[in-house]
Amino acid sequence: MRKGYKMHRFFEANIKPTDQKTVLTNENFLHARALRLKFGEHVILCDGAENDYYCMVTSASKANVELKIICVQKNTSEPNIDVTLFQALPKGKKMNDIIENCVPLGVSAVVPIVTARCIANIDTNIDNKELTKIDRWRKTSEAAAKQSGRGIIPIIKQITKIEDAVGQAKNFGTTFACYESEDKLSLKEYLTNSLSEKPGSIAFFIGPEGGFTDYEISLFKNAGISTVSLGPRIMRTELAPAAVLAAIAYATEKGVL
């Protein structure tokens, strides 16, 4: 394959390192048909477990697309720390934008949360409408993972109430909440102190358009979750998580910025 050639990327969960050949299935097959893949073209399959399979198309028809596996390599694009975003549900289609921007920046999982000031009309009692919305967010995560060369598809979890999300936050090495009224602890200071202890995993909370309420801030404080400032300027809810992830990447990854 020629140097600099960007190969199409597909996530295939059914592939394993001992395989010598495989086929594209379901939506991947339909995508390959749309791309008009031909004999001799090269693609990359990823098993979602940080393994990249470099393959050559050996047969492409209306029935299937067959591939020969040339080699398997460990994906090198994954960050060295797991980061989970607890994102208050924004209005409109902003959650898609948030996921699309956060996946290339290294997020491992996104947990949509319902807070008091969420403008979006969401019920945590999941119905078909909400399942469709979550499924769309998951497809956005997969597309962004393909585009950015990720070795996994970041998980989009079920919508949950903030009280339950605060309880989940105890499972992480370190957790913080971004709060516009915090005037003592900056994100830079927090990351400098917490990352020196090599926490292994990070979780952070981003509020809705109207911010967190006093009650929600008390939930964080009572759970031992620090509130941090993102600086003197107020960021939109769809911009703030990307800013935080960029700061985490700068603090933890080589070659970032």
Task: Determine the pLDDT at residue 5.
Answer: 52
Structure tokens that stand for 231 in this block: 């600086």
- The 3-state secondary structure of the chain, one letter per residue: CCCCCCCEEEECCCCCCCCCEEECCHHHHHHHHHHCCCCCCEEEEECCCCEEEEEEEEEECCCCEEEEEEEEEECCCCCCCEEEEEEECCCCCHHHHHHHHHCCCCCCEEEEEECCCCCCCCCCCCCHHHHHHHHHHHHHHHHHHHHHCCCCCCEECCCEEHHHHHHHHHHCCEEEEECCCCCCCEHHHHHHHHHCCCCCEEEEEECCCCCCCHHHHHHHHHCCCEEEECCCCCCCCCCHHHHHHHHHHHHHCCCCC
Structure tokens that stand for 217 in this block: 């801030």
Structure tokens that stand for 182 in this block: 């915090």
**Among all chains, which residue has been given the structure tokens 């947990």?**
111
Q: CB within 8 A of 183, min separation 6: which ones? A: 229
- Domain made up of 8-74: CATH architecture: Beta Barrel (2.40)
Task: Determine the pLDDT at residue 132.
Answer: 84
What are the residue ranges of CATH 2.40.240.20 in the chain? 8-74
- Residue 205 phi/psi, 5-degree rounding, is -110, 135
93-128 tens-digit pLDDT: 899 999 999 999 999 999 999 999 997 666 555 556
Low-confidence ranges of the chain (pLDDT < 50): 1-4
Q: Pick one of 3.40.50.1980, 3.40.250.10, 1.10.287.1400, 3.40.1280.10 as the CATH number of 82-252.
A: 3.40.1280.10
Q: CB within 8 A of 194, min separation 6: which ones? A: 174, 176, 202
Q: Which of these, 147, 168, 182, 186, lies nearest to 85 by C-alpha position?
A: 168
Q: Are strands 51-60 and 65-74 parallel, antiparallel or unpaired?
A: antiparallel
Task: Determine the pLDDT at residue 128.
Answer: 61
What are the residue ranges of CATH 3.40.1280.10 in the chain? 82-252
Task: Determine the pLDDT at residue 196.
Answer: 75
